Structures are given as C-alpha cells and as structure tokens.
Amino acid sequence: MNDALIPQIGVVTQIRVETPDVKTFRVVGLDGKKPFEHIPGQCAMLSIPGVGEALFSITSSPTVEEYLEFSIKKCGCVTDWLHSMEEGQEVTIRGPYGNGFPVDTDFVGKDLLFVAGGIGLAPLHSVINYCRARREKYGTIDIVYGARSMADLVDYREILDEWSREEGVSVHLTIDNAQPEWDGHVGFVPNYVTELKPDTSKTVVMCGPPVMIKFTLSGLMELGFDRRNIYTTLELRMKCAVGRCGRCNIGSKFVCKDGPVFRLDELDELPNEY
C-alpha cells in the first residue's frame, strides 16, 4: 500500500497568466484524467522534486470533470519554480486534503456573500463556480472582490464575461487606487462591504490577507452578522497535510485536516496563533 505521503505524477497541460504574479495551472494525471475528486475549499500538495512540496487550494470547481486547476501567486521557492515552468511539465500531486466548505449542507438555501482580496479569490473560486453550477440549491450570490490594481484582479475575464452576466449573481469589484481605465469602485474591500450594507441573513465566505479579514469582520459585526454564518479558510505551513508533521496546528486543531475551512465561532474557540 502506498503511503499518503507518496504523490502521483500530474501533467501541467495549460498555464494561464492571471496577473503579474499569479498564474493558473491546469493539472491532469498521467492518464489524462482528473487526478482525484474534491470538495470546494479542499487543497492539494504540489511539488517539483528537488525544489519542494507546498499546499495549494484547488481553484477549479468539483463540477469540472476533466482536470484540477490551481491559481498560484509567486512568493517563494516552490511557487517561483512553478511560475518558471512550461506547459507539458510534470509535477507531483497528492490530495485532496482538508474539510472543504459545507456546500451541500449549511450553504444550501442560503444567500451567499463571498468576500475576497487578491489571491484570496483562489479558494473561493471553486466554491463560487460550484454554487453557480448548482444554482437552484442556493439563494442570491454576491461577490465582493478587490485587489491592489486592475492588473491584480485574478480571473478578471471570467468574472466579467461569466459571473457578472449571470442572473442572481452580483459582482462588486474594487481596486485600492484609482486608475484611468477603471470606471468601477475604488477603495478597500472592508469599506466596500460596509457600504454595500449586505443583509445579515447572508452566509459569508471570506478569504484574503489578514488585514482585510480583520477589518471586514469588524464591519460585519457592526452590521449585526452572526459569527456562526461567517466562514473563512486558513493556511499555515505544512509538510505532510495529514496531521502528522506537527506544524499547522492552532491549539488542538490541525489546519490540514480539521480545516482549512473554519466557521468564525469555531475559530473563536482557538488560541490566536495564526
């Protein structure tokens, strides 16, 4: 029996440039098929032997049957290497890891508000597209997404051409500073969320830089949101992703297997060390 730490080989069949420092990588198995099934919010370990292994959110929706996709920001050893490779490159892949979002339970029938900043859209992309594909199971979908500049918005074409045009889906984009070619909202994500005055019955799914999470949260609290209706997904350094290597714990919970998705009231129970 192969150990969970032994990966399989995957082939990168497509690389898309999303922003100056984010690329999306499409991965299939050696047989040309999707390497494994997953739940939105789950992650996988990608590696280049000799460089290292790192954990990434699976960006594609489980409803995509042909491949897995990962939107990855260039910010360290492994990601530098991934950004430098060409289509056709083989990588190693293992997973899926983590709990994922409760898309088939708690989210069903709810109005959903997605709040993302920068590369924080990556883990939510999977959820958003899953919910779009099973549209009848959910209420309205609101997406508030911001980045430093227009060029830093990940999945910009897909957002404009697909998400924005869909009935029942409202997209609210914002960038930090005004740009001549931008006629949309300018400002930080937390302020934009407050300005939009979302109904407190919505279920919130957040991912972004810690400072965005912090200020968005205080805005949501002021609006009167219930902490049990707010979800986020975390990431800490991991080596094994199966709860053995001992480094991604927050108190008694391992982000790799008890997370990465946590409800806010669950996070409140954990020590503030993430």
Partner 1 sequence: MKKLLKTDLDTLFQAIASRQTLYIPVEDAGKQAAFIPYAPGLVMSTALNTARSAKDLFFPQVESLVNFRMDGKHIEIVSAEAEAKPFVLFGVRACDARSFDILDRVFYDAEPQDTFYARRRDLGTVVTLACSAPEETCFCTAFGIDPAEPAGDVSVWESGDSCLFRANTEKGEALLRDLPLEDASDGAADAAKDAIRKITDLLPLKDLDLTPFGAGKTQTFFDDPAWASLSESCVGCGTCTFVCPTCQCFDIRDFDGGKEIRRYRCWDSCMYSDFTQMSAGQPRPTQKERFRQRFMHKLVYYPDMHEGLFSCVGCGRCLQKCPIHMNIVKVIRTLGEETK
Q: Which CB sits closer to partner 1, 90 or 111?
A: 90
Compute the distance between CA of residue 208 and CA of residue 215 in angstroms, rounded to an integer.
11
C-alpha 113: how far from chain center: 14
Both tokens of 126, joined, read: 């999977």
Stretch that binds partner 1, among 18-26, 35-43, 46-54, 199-207 (CB under 8 A): 46-54
Q: Could you tell me which stretch among 3-11, 135-143, 164-172, 259-267 binds partner 1 (CB under 8 A)?
A: 3-11
**Looking only at residues 203 through 242 of this chain, which bind partner 1 when binding is defined by CB under 8 A?**
210, 235-237, 239-240, 242
Q: Buried (b) or exposed (e) across 153-171, using 16+ Cβ within 10 A?
A: bbbbeebeeebeeeeebeb
Choose the binding region for partner 1 from 15-23, 147-155, 200-208, 244-252 (rule: CB under 8 A). Answer: 244-252
170 near partner 1, judged by CB under 8 A: no
The binder of partner 1 chosen from 149, 187, 243, 263 (CB under 8 A): 243
Q: Smallest distance, Å, CB 56 to partner 1?
A: 13
**x/- site string to partner 1, residues 122 to 151, per CB under 8 A?**
------------------------------
- Under rule CB under 8 A, residue 49 binds partner 1: yes
CA dihedral sign of residues 81, 85, 89, 94: positive
* 89 touching partner 1, by CB under 8 A: yes
Compute the least distance from the CB of residue 226 to partner 1, in Å: 22
Two tokens, residue 131:
């919910």
How many other C-beta atoms are found inside a 10 Å radius of the C-beta of residue 223? 14
The distance of closest approach from Cβ of residue 237 to partner 1 in the complex, given in angstroms and rounded to an integer, is 5
Q: How far is CA 59 from CA 2, 33, 192, 268, in A?
A: 26, 17, 24, 27
CB of 260 to partner 1, least distance (A): 14
Options 113, 249, 261, 262; binder of partner 1; rule CB under 8 A: 249
CB 120 within 8 A of CB 207: yes
Query: CA 58, 213, 140 angle in degrees (round to 5)?
Result: 65
The DSSP call for residue 119 is: G
b/e 91-130 (16+ beta carbons within 10 angstroms → b): bebbbbbbbbbbbeeebeebbbbbbbbbbbbbbbbbbbbb
Choosing from 3, 136, 167, 183, the residue that interacts with partner 1 (CB under 8 A) is 3
Residues that bind partner 1 (CB under 8 A): 1-9, 47, 49-53, 75-76, 79, 86, 88-92, 210, 235-237, 239-240, 242-252, 270-271, 273-274
